[in-house]
A and B are shown apart, each in its own frame.
Chain A
């Protein structure tokens, strides 16, 4: 069970993550992603929306599966920029780990 933290999305803006709330969870990105893996990248975007920071950090490895191929960003019907959001999350996780937080 996770407590929703609506302030997390604002915290991520420093890492260039600013379109997560545009997403309406349609799943087009997960359908077109060549990884074909566990609702990726939609799941990560949803975690941003609800502020599930722990889930993101626990599943951080998955972020680096992304090929940055851009198909999700090209096909997103809401211009939520899923590919760029994943890059932003990588920046966030790297910064956290450098600050000594467990990743």
Chain B
């Protein structure tokens, strides 16, 4: 499974010598605070350094060419670039080494921007820069060529979740020729979108989008769909995940309302039913277990709407207070024509819309939710959704008046600002409240009037207290991630403070998790609209397809390595190891005797160094970050031999 690639290095660099130091001005970013020429001059006095040069932009073509020429001419065999952060350009310069025919791991990076010029000024800046460069040069002199770890990939993707994002990801993968297994916990496909009717802002119907997507998924020969299914067992790593899927009949109460709706609709398997979704297969009668191997996993575990507490904005205290999803369901059963909206036989002359329910909660101001947390984020979709609903009704039932109570209105995407403009044109009347001064829902003392009274300290009316009689209150509830703590636990995936799953980098790696080979799609990551969820799912699918179609993955070789000449088999490293399966004691023959010795599985190793710290024999080290290399860095930081005499 794990193969060593043919060594990239040719020839082996001379031990301890021929270090080239390249100091970048960063267009003034560094050189405005650091005397770059002085840093070069002092670097030349560091043992092992044969050349030190500077350039306005080392990452530019001429800058890289300079390094490549020195390598090709044989002047330099080891490279230190002192510039911006390694996260920005380390890969750039490692690739320059490869282009020069060298090994990319005989490279060390010194950060003179974030660690020096942006935070220090004057002579101290140049002094610190010099010591960082000297330390990097000392380490570079100790570096050895390394080979990346290559792992073969099982040609199958597992998608967890059968909502819009999961369906979209599965279909995109299948259309790229990859085999997909889609696992859905409930008996239905379509997820939360199936609980809606018209989608904001464009007005496409849930029936149409789910019908089209789920239909294509079910017909695709490369996709296997398991409903009523959950991931119970998980092990392995990118390219080689081993999973146990179980299918069981769901707890009877959980889906009874939907199953009831389904049977009343008279629709068969594979047909879309509003507020249910699409049931592709019968509920299993007995427990089934499926063992599965997959190269990549896409998480599309989705969200659920915030459920208000009893008494929150009068919810459950007054039957006239409903959440937006509940309102949408009631609306589907209401007469479509008439001057005023009629819900359950009641004329709705005035309706209050309240934004930010269960979103943007502030510590110290808002009460914690039953789980002891606050949803501090904006759910992003509720403003558009509730204004879309108001417009729809207002245009159908012109005599129904809407009173919109908001903290802020965030109709942020294409076609969404128009929803707000349209709402204003439809004479929706807006009120603004401050956090902590949320509107109160009261019984209307005027028995002849509407049943409820909304009382608000209205910012738009200069903080005056206003009261609005209404027949209905609709709460624009936010999005919360579904509880997938079992998966989080098994897969060791990072979760943000907002309880949504946390990507590696919000901009540069937005659908990847720090666990290689597991990708993110849709609202398990953050509150999204349907379009955004599908965009994320598409991105995850393409990322997954790229891994699958390449057939192998290469990992950085910064992993533990056992020096068998020193290892005495104490097993301390195995006990200290944080990654399951990365270290094990195995039996082997040393000097004609069968002994227990530590062995590293480089694919599982995190390179954290916990083993290095505990080994009494110094027999284990992290490649590219050995104790010896660290020691040489420390020695050079405290040395004065290369400093210019004042």
Q: How far is the CB of A54 from chain B (nearest CB, A)?
A: 12
Among B403, B424, B461, B468, which residue has the most Cβ atoms of chain A within 10 A?
Answer: B461
Which A residue sits closest to B468, measured CB to CB? Answer: A4
Q: Is A25 an interface residue (CB 8 A)?
A: yes
Q: Given A4-B469, A21-B427, A46-B462, 20 other A-B contacts at CB below 8 A?
A: A1-B455, A2-B467, A3-B467, A3-B468, A3-B469, A4-B403, A4-B429, A4-B467, A6-B350, A6-B429, A9-B427, A21-B424, A22-B424, A25-B432, A43-B462, A46-B460, A46-B461, A49-B429, A50-B458, A50-B466
Q: Is A29 an interface residue (CB 8 A)?
A: no
Which A residue sits closest to B453, measured CB to CB? Answer: A3
State the CA gap A49–B460 with chains docked (Å).
10
Q: How far is the CB of A40 from chain B (nearest CB, A)?
A: 12
Tell me the A residues contacting B by CB distance below 8 Å. Answer: 1-4, 6, 9, 21-22, 24-25, 39, 43, 46-47, 49-50, 52, 78
Contact B464 A2 (CB under 8 A): yes
Which A residue sits closest to B467, measured CB to CB? Answer: A3
Partner of A52, one of B403, B424, B461: B461
Q: Is B57 an interface residue (CB 8 A)?
A: no
List A contacts of B464 (CB < 8 A): 1-2
Contact A1 B466 (CB under 8 A): yes
Contact A1 B424 (CB under 8 A): no
Q: How far is the CB of A60 from chain B (nearest CB, A)?
A: 17
List B contacts of A6 (CB < 8 A): 350, 401, 403, 429
Which A residue sits closest to B459, measured CB to CB? Answer: A25
Contact B403 A24 (CB under 8 A): no
Given A39-B462, A52-B461, A21 contacting B429 (CB threshold 8 A): yes
Q: Is B465 an interface residue (CB 8 A)?
A: yes
Q: Is B318 an interface residue (CB 8 A)?
A: no
State the CA gap A46–B458 with chains docked (Å).
11
Tell me the B residues contacting A by CB distance below 8 Å. Answer: 350, 401, 403, 424, 427, 429-430, 432, 455, 458, 460-462, 464-469
Which B residue sits closest to A9, measured CB to CB? Answer: B427
Given A6-B401, A46-B460, A1 contacting B465 (CB threshold 8 A): yes
Q: How far is the CB of A74 from chain B (nearest CB, A)?
A: 20
Q: How far is the CB of A85 from chain B (nearest CB, A)?
A: 15
State the CA gap A6–B431 with chains docked (Å).
13
Contact A2 B427 (CB under 8 A): no
Which A residue sits closest to B455, measured CB to CB? Answer: A1
Q: What are 6 A-B contacts with C-beta separation under 8 Å? A: A1-B466, A1-B467, A2-B466, A3-B466, A46-B461, A50-B458
State the CA gap A50–B455 with chains docked (Å).
13
State the CA gap A43–B458 with chains docked (Å).
12
State the CA gap A9–B469 with chains docked (Å).
17
Q: How far is the CB of A50 from chain B (nearest CB, A)?
A: 6
Q: How far is the CB of A27 from chain B (nearest CB, A)?
A: 10
List A contacts of B427 (CB < 8 A): 9, 21
Contact A50 B467 (CB under 8 A): no
Given A2-B464, A6-B401, A43-B462, A50 contacting B429 (CB threshold 8 A): yes
Contact B467 A24 (CB under 8 A): no
List B contacts of A21 (CB < 8 A): 424, 427, 429
CB-based closest 3 A-B pairs? A4-B468, A25-B460, A1-B465
Which A residue sits closest to B432, measured CB to CB? Answer: A25
Which A residue sits closest to B465, measured CB to CB? Answer: A1
List B contacts of A2 (CB < 8 A): 464-467
List A contacts of B467 (CB < 8 A): 1-4
Q: How far is the CB of B409 from chain A (nearest CB, A)?
A: 9
Given A2-B467, A4-B468, A50 contacting B461 (CB threshold 8 A): yes
Given A1-B467, A4-B468, A43-B462, A24 contacting B424 (CB threshold 8 A): yes
Q: How far is the CB of B540 from chain A (nearest CB, A)?
A: 39
State the CA gap A25–B468 with chains docked (Å).
19
List A contacts of B350 (CB < 8 A): 6
Q: How far is the CB of A8 from chain B (nearest CB, A)?
A: 11
Q: How far is the CB of A51 from chain B (nearest CB, A)?
A: 9
Q: How far is the CB of B60 from chain A (nearest CB, A)?
A: 45
List A contacts of B430 (CB < 8 A): 24-25
State the CA gap A57–B61 with chains docked (Å).
74
State the CA gap A47–B460 with chains docked (Å).
10
List A contacts of B468 (CB < 8 A): 3-4
Which A residue sits closest to B461, measured CB to CB? Answer: A46
State the CA gap A47–B429 with chains docked (Å).
12
List A contacts of B432 (CB < 8 A): 25
List A contacts of B462 (CB < 8 A): 39, 43, 46
List B contacts of A49 (CB < 8 A): 429
Contact B466 A4 (CB under 8 A): yes
List B contacts of A50 (CB < 8 A): 429, 458, 461, 466
List B contacts of A47 (CB < 8 A): 461
Which A residue sits closest to B349, measured CB to CB? Answer: A6
State the CA gap A9–B427 with chains docked (Å).
10
State the CA gap A52–B455 with chains docked (Å).
15
Q: How far is the CB of B211 from chain A (nearest CB, A)?
A: 38
List A contacts of B458 (CB < 8 A): 50
List B contacts of A22 (CB < 8 A): 424
List A contacts of B429 (CB < 8 A): 4, 6, 21, 49-50
List B contacts of A43 (CB < 8 A): 462
State the CA gap A49–B429 with chains docked (Å).
7
Which A residue sits closest to B426, measured CB to CB? Answer: A21
Which B residue sits closest to A23, measured CB to CB? Answer: B424
Which B residue sits closest to A43, measured CB to CB? Answer: B462
Q: How far is the CB of B444 from chain A (nearest CB, A)?
A: 10
State the CA gap A49–B461 with chains docked (Å).
10
